[in-house]
A and B are shown apart, each in its own frame.
Chain A
């Protein structure tokens, strides 16, 4: 069954083509069937392919399928070819599985919208592009998928294009990620000129032979790749686009800006980990970027008013954890957090969508409250998502994945103690902002009257994702709690396992884990203390809307927008305005000159045929004279 691999990206692409070409002719129900069906079929095919892959798994570590040659000239051969190993199978399973649930959810969530078939066409195209990205055998095909998901992100952020603000948000996302993509492309060019190959596996083995550890070329290439990954994954300093990207419909935020596309950077770094292993300094930079982003974003998430912006900042923060894990060499831990994060963050976004849906598109959490009784399904699933995100011990998946990351940071030879303390502070902040949301939205008095629970198509994805948000963490349990290593064993065939510092035994692991657990619970307790309506502090802290400069700073995401506006945008407009006028004047003269010449020449067009004959004769004579001379 494994040779059905090519079908996985082709199915959503077909769905896109059908909906884009004939979308107007179908009824809404047919559109939903096509849109969900194509992704559902892809998920089913993934299950078949995965079954085929596991039949011969430990012996055959990867499966390679070439469809045809895309580019074949002297010196470069690029194929449309897929590469399936443990890492890409994990990504494909998440993309198609969660993608299908989110499509199902959208079938009801978007049902009142005019652009129903356009929405599903874009979503299918996104899934196809994302699958191309993770299945690509060579870097050029990967780049095609990379740009494809960027395009779909742009199209879907600006889905409600009649609002000029949303269009601006879409452009911002597109331009900011383009900075990263350009760096990534330059990295590809350097890699190709140096190694004459673009195949990911070949490039890595060639690079390992040709470049010593710590060589300049490896550092340059990995830094350029890192800038690409940082742009796509909304990490510092290219993180400014993600909060604004919440302008898109909520299922889009769940699929693209939480579960899949924003983790493409994590995938890229994990996929090219041999290159990053050659540049230890760059790896350290990754860890520092991850740590900084996770702390800054967590602080910003604490003071946001918009429910989706809270989740956007929390996404940045959680991806910060993944980058941190990548930076200390804990590849499998990063991917494990990716897996759990895509479950619980998709769940949180979908539950938030359900809240927004039932409150007539109200997104301000200060106008929500008391929804616990009115929306019990949404409440419980949201609670599970928030618990998983803040790492409530033993029962949630987020606990196990975050715990693994922190343990890796503690015990990795590539890490430092202060990084661990930063990450520990992050767990506290995570608990704080997650449960601030819960207490604000679901407790207290009702401020906006909800219309009632969503229908079945929205409830099923919530329940399924809640189930996974609780249980998927049991794939990997620490030593103190059963020592299950299914996940790390599975990924060890694609990614190297991390070495531990000497002197790290089960006792130090258990002690470390206890600290992390206490910190997360402390965060939740603090949230209850500060934000639970009825507590003494609640009254004082509710009033976050006051214009205290510190709050404004945090709400604006630490003022990065203003900084970039001052440093890049305004000088650029200044540059284009003043000399622009001078240059324009030159072009205007050119236009005026051409126009007057044309007016003058048109006098020769008298309409008299004899005049024309005479000019031909004169011209011929002049030419003859020229030759005679």
Chain B
């Protein structure tokens, strides 16, 4: 199958992203991991679109791109505020909302 290698790559990228998200404590690295996961999903969409000969996969990629841009701009704003208030980028330090 043509699309198998790209799907395997997408799964690997997604797994790396998840592991990065869970293991990293620096919030900037966590955001990077999130970006990797998003790109893995986009890759899977494009591979599927190519497999079926449909344009939908590429359209989804464009959506995900926009989403990622929006997400990053909001997230970076929050990170800026967090570093300003807590003087650190350690995600475990921001546990004010403990139930």
Contacts and interface: CB of A to CB of B under 8 A. Distances in A.
Given A610-B25, A614-B22, A617-B22, A605 B91 contact: no
Please list the 6 inter-chain residue pairs (A to B) with the smallest Cβ-Cβ separation, ordered nearest first.
A605-B99, A607-B95, A607-B98, A602-B99, A607-B97, A609-B91
Given A609-B91, A613-B21, 18 more contacts: A602-B99, A604-B99, A605-B97, A605-B99, A606-B98, A607-B94, A607-B98, A607-B99, A608-B91, A608-B95, A609-B30, A609-B94, A610-B21, A610-B22, A610-B25, A610-B30, A613-B22, A617-B18
Interface in B66-99: 91-92, 94-99
A607 B96 contact: yes
A491 to B, nearest CB: 77
Contact of A605 (B21, B25, B98): B98
Interface of B: 18, 21-22, 25, 30, 91-92, 94-99
B91 A610 contact: yes
Nearest to B97: A607
Contacts of A617: 18, 22
Interface of A: 602-610, 613-614, 617
A539 B30 CA distance: 104
B92 A608 contact: yes
B24 to A, nearest CB: 8
Contacts of B25: 610
Contacts of B94: 607, 609
Nearest to B95: A607
A607 B98 CA distance: 4
Contacts of A605: 97-99
Contact of B99 (A603, A609, A610, A613): A603
Nearest to B25: A610
Contacts of B91: 608-610
B27 to A, nearest CB: 8
A603 B88 CA distance: 25
Contacts of A609: 30, 91, 94
A553 to B, nearest CB: 68
- Which of A605, A610, A617 is packed against the most chain B CB atoms within 10 Å? A610
B62 to A, nearest CB: 25
- Which of B25, B92, B96 is packed against the most chain A CB atoms within 10 Å? B92
A610 B98 contact: no
A303 B86 CA distance: 86
A617 B17 CA distance: 11
A613 B18 CA distance: 9
Contacts of A614: 22
Contacts of B97: 605, 607
A610 B94 CA distance: 11
A201 B91 CA distance: 79
B23 to A, nearest CB: 8
B45 to A, nearest CB: 18
A609 B91 CA distance: 7
A621 to B, nearest CB: 10
